[in-house]
């Protein structure tokens, strides 16, 4: 689909740990420290273990005037802990081929680790130290601030980053989702060691913790490991007082000018959350409208028939405080007008008539058939489980999902399409030099980035 030039990019697509016949995954709910939740998928084929965890909260814990605090924490957790300096800690990870990573997301702070099972105890010991005794040495803080600021400077010239930043900053205006998660040059500079410690103290607690493990480990061993890593965390995170986001600028076209041959386009409007009873119908509808298939309507109309873009995709984005349906593409500046018109036409037509019977059957067939391919390496299984835990879907959902999809009727899809798709209500964000577009809001810099100017 994406017809990538492969370069060195290896996409690891691997196989799920398969359970009994007819089951997609054999998910065990295992013992966790009080307040937390832990799942396990055991598979001993390859001596590898992957563990993923999350603390709910994320961006909401960044102080309003210091966006990027969580991001800086994510860069610093593996930069020294307990008695170990940064170089000592990194050395332990590297000498034992242990992979650790942390991400400050919009709704949660995530961590993951993968290790050869032979180095299990060491790996779990290291991550436990990182979570409970991070050092935040000034030297490491300065180094990671440089890293973070260097990234921001790079991002400010990257059209795909600029369009996403502008989309989030404008559509969620007034809500904390609009904050730039990677911070600004000024905010990163202003963050202190105490800010980092406060962030950890406020959020890293058992009542907001979800953990999942996949791979070469038994239930008993997994329970012990989880207790060792997370058992000593505080019971409760600081409470948050946050509300759902309202999507802004419906029906408006927003332009951030940039001197590039193409315009990057993101458009969105209120969608649906994973917990909604219509989620699966929306998923089927989205696949038909702009999913991963060349047969998707947007792809057919805009790429296959007319060659206006390399790729156009719609997607449902379900986060804790907003559901969005969104479309992304890029097109040469003189083709933006036509591409937008075709996109809106597809939107409207789907809302009006829904899918054909054939499209409906094909979509169900793909979405149910491809499930095992979507659960790839032990790392991806652990991530998938974590996301189901966070969405409160229950350990058996993964095995019921196909039944839910198969039970849908074409009327369900039509109803959801009519409810969600309102072409005239889309907030459209453009980054580039589009021709013949009537712009409602002209920006001179990406929102939320303070004094930093887009080139």
Q: In terms of DSSP H, where are the helices of 96-137?
A: 120-132
Contact pick of 133, 306, 352, 435 for other proteins (by CB under 8 A): 306
* Shortest distance in whole angstroms from residue 337 CB to other proteins: 15
Q: Are 158 and 45 in contact (CB under 8 A)?
A: no
**Main-chain dihedrals φ then ψ at residue 156, nearest 5 degrees:** -65, -15
Contact pick of 180, 355, 395, 434 for other proteins (by CB under 8 A): 180
Binding residues for other proteins, total number by CB under 8 A: 95
Which residue shows structure tokens 């799920």?
A: 16
Neighbours of 108 (CB within 10 A): 25
Interstrand relation of 37-42 and 28-30 (parallel, antiparallel or unpaired):
antiparallel
Q: Tell whether residue 45 is a contact of other proteins (CB under 8 A).
A: yes
* Shortest distance in whole angstroms from residue 227 CB to other proteins: 25
**Encoded tokens for 265:** 């386009």
What is the C-alpha to C-alpha distance for residues 193 and 246, in angstroms, rounded to an integer? 34
Nearer to other proteins, 300 or 344 (CB): 300
Q: Which of residues 215-244 bind other proteins (CB under 8 A)?
A: 215
Q: Tell whether residue 194 is a contact of other proteins (CB under 8 A).
A: no
* Shortest distance in whole angstroms from residue 254 CB to other proteins: 15
Q: Tell whether residue 83 is a contact of other proteins (CB under 8 A).
A: no
Q: Tell whether residue 366 is a contact of other proteins (CB under 8 A).
A: yes
List the x/- string, 113-152, binding to other proteins by CB under 8 A: -x-x--------------------------x--xx-xx-x
Q: Tell whether residue 20 is a contact of other proteins (CB under 8 A).
A: no
> Three-class SS string for 254-289?
EEEECCCCEEEEEEEEECCCCCCCCHHHHHHHHHHH
Q: Tell whether residue 368 is a contact of other proteins (CB under 8 A).
A: yes
Contact pick of 61, 102, 176, 182 for other proteins (by CB under 8 A): 182
Nearer to other proteins, 116 or 240 (CB): 116
209 forms beta bridges with 55
What is the C-alpha to C-alpha distance for residues 33 and 230, in angstroms, rounded to an integer? 7
Q: Are 141 and 196 in contact (CB under 8 A)?
A: yes
Q: Which of residues 250-289 bind other proteins (CB under 8 A)?
A: 258-262, 264
């Amino acid at each position: 689909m994406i017809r990538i030039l492969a370069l060195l990019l290896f996409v690891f697509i691997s196989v799920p740990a398969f359970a009994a016949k007819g089951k997609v995954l054999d998910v065990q709910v295992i013992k966790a420290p009080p307040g937390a939740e832990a799942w396990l998928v055991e598979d001993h084929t390859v001596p590898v273990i992957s563990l993923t965890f999350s603390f709910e909260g994320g961006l909401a814990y960044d102080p309003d005037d210091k966006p990027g605090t969580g991001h800086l924490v994510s860069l610093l957790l593996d930069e020294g802990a307990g008695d170990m300096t940064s170089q000592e800690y990194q050395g332990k990870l590297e000498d034992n081929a242990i992979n650790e990573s942390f991400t400050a997301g919009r709704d949660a702070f995530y961590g993951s680790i993968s290790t050869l099972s032979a180095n299990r105890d060491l790996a779990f010991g290291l991550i436990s130290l990182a979570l409970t005794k991070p050092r935040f040495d000034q030297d490491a803080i300065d180094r990671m601030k440089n890293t973070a600021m260097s990234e921001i400077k790079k991002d400010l010239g990257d059209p795909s980053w600029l369009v996403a930043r502008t989309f989030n900053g404008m559509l969620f205006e007034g809500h904390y989702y609009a904050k730039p998660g990677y911070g600004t040059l000024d905010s990163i500079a202003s963050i202190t060691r105490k800010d980092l410690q406060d962030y950890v103290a406020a959020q890293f607690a058992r009542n907001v913790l979800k953990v999942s493990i996949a791979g070469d480990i038994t239930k008993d061993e997994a329970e012990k490991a989880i207790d060792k890593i997370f058992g000593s965390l505080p019971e409760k995170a600081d409470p948050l007082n946050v509300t759902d986001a309202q999507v802004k600028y419906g029906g408006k076209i927003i332009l951030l000018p940039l001197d590039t041959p193409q315009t990057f386009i993101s458009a969105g409007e209120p969608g649906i959350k994973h917990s909604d009873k219509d989620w699966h119908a929306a998923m089927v509808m989205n696949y038909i409208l702009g999913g991963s298939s060349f047969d998707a309507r947007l792809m057919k109309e805009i790429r296959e028939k007319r060659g206006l873009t390399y790729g156009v995709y719609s997607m449902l984005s379900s986060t804790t405080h907003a559901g969005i349906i969104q479309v992304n593409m890029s097109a040469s500046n003189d083709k933006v007008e036509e591409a937008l018109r075709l996109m809106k036409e597809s939107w409207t037509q789907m809302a009006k008539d829904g899918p054909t019977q054939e499209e409906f059957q094909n979509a169900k067939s793909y979405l149910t058939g491809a499930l095992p391919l979507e659960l790839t390496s032990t790392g991806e299984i652990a991530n998938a489980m974590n996301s189901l835990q966070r969405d409160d879907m229950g350990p058996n959902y993964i095995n019921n999902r196909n039944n839910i999809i198969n039970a849908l009727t074409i009327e369900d899809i039509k109803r959801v399409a009519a409810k969600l798709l309102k072409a005239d209500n889309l907030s459209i964000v453009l980054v580039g030099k589009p021709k013949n577009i009537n712009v409602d809001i002209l920006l001179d810099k990406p929102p939320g980035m303070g004094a930093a100017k887009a080139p």
